[in-house]
């Protein structure tokens, strides 16, 4: 059985009840590919509202959680809270959490273990900065990030890996299909070597980095690209085109 195509929408710090309502209407009118797993990640304050109103078959993700279930951690959310509002996924290790908020590989690994232990699935993000790519260090950087995550994973069926070259996030620059495929293939090879051939064959590896309706079909045709984690384009009605990328 092939890997099920996965499309995630990461709204980041964007959205309002009014804009969400517009998206709900667009989703309701669209003929969406039912074979695709769709997971939407709004700001946490809208998680309850979105879960109550979006298509029942869509998954809900929080954009981040902490490694503890409760306590004096102002501004944080827990996996238990995520589950309580109907979320079944969480995004961990996004480049903005790493670069802006200083999250280390170790912390991301700890949060991965915590979430999986609580029964919430993980979209685990990896990716290199522009200077790291230009220095020829893409593979080393990605493998270091993967190692910290893999060390904490007990059930790979609950994990999706998102490769997001940082230089392509929100910049309008997109890794070419060949560049993206090359890194996805190297991630799968690393999983085969360091975890198991079965995990490598079954784990979905999705691409993020300025994915939009105009390039999603070509990216989605690559052998080791199993879907997308979409930023800005997921806030627009034609996000439905990306969901339907395999139909193109």
140/146 Cα distance (integer angstroms): 10
Count of beta carbons in the 10 Å neighbourhood of residue 130: 13
**Alpha-carbon gap, residue 85 to 104, rounded angstroms:** 27
Of the candidates 37, 132, 164, 184, the residue annotated as catalytic is 164
Q: Could you tell me what percentage of the chain is helix, strand and coil, using 3-state DSSP and rounding each to the nearest 5?
A: 45, 15, 40
The verdict on whether 94 is a catalytic residue reads yes
Q: Catalytic residue among 94, 128, 132, 184, which?
A: 94
Assign 3-class secondary structure to 19-64.
Answer: HHHHHHHHHHHCCCCCCCEEEEECCHHHHHHHHHHCCCCCEEEECC
Tokens at 94, concatenated: 């996004």
164 belongs to the catalytic site? yes
Which residue in this structure is represented by tokens 């238990």?
A: 80
List active site positions.
94, 164
């Amino acid at each position: 059985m092939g890997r099920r195509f996965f499309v995630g929408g990461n709204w980041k710090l964007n959205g309002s009840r009014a804009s969400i309502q517009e998206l709900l209407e667009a989703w309701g009118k669209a003929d969406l590919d039912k074979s695709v797993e769709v997971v939407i990640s709004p700001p946490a304050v809208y998680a309850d509202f979105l879960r109550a109103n979006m298509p029942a078959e869509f998954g809900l993700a929080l954009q981040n959680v902490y490694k503890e279930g409760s306590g004096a951690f102002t501004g944080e959310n827990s996996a238990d809270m995520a589950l309580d509002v109907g979320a079944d996924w969480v995004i961990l290790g996004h480049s903005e959490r790493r670069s802006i908020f200083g999250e280390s590989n170790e912390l991301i690994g700890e949060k991965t273990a915590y979430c999986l232990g609580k029964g919430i699935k993980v979209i685990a993000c990896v990716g290199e900065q522009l200077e790291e790519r230009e220095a020829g260090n893409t593979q080393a950087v990605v493998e270091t990030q993967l190692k910290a995550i893999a060390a904490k994973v007990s059930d790979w069926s609950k994990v999706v890996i998102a490769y997001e070259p940082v230089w392509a996030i929100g910049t309008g620059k997109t890794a070419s299909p060949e560049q993206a495929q090359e890194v996805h293939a190297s991630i799968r090879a690393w999983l085969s070597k360091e975890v198991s051939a079965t995990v490598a064959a079954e784990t979905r590896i999705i691409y993020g980095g300025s994915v939009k309706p105009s390039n999603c079909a070509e990216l989605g045709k690559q052998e080791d690209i199993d879907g997308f984690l979409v930023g800005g384009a997921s806030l627009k009605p034609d996000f439905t085109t990306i969901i339907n990328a395999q139909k193109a």
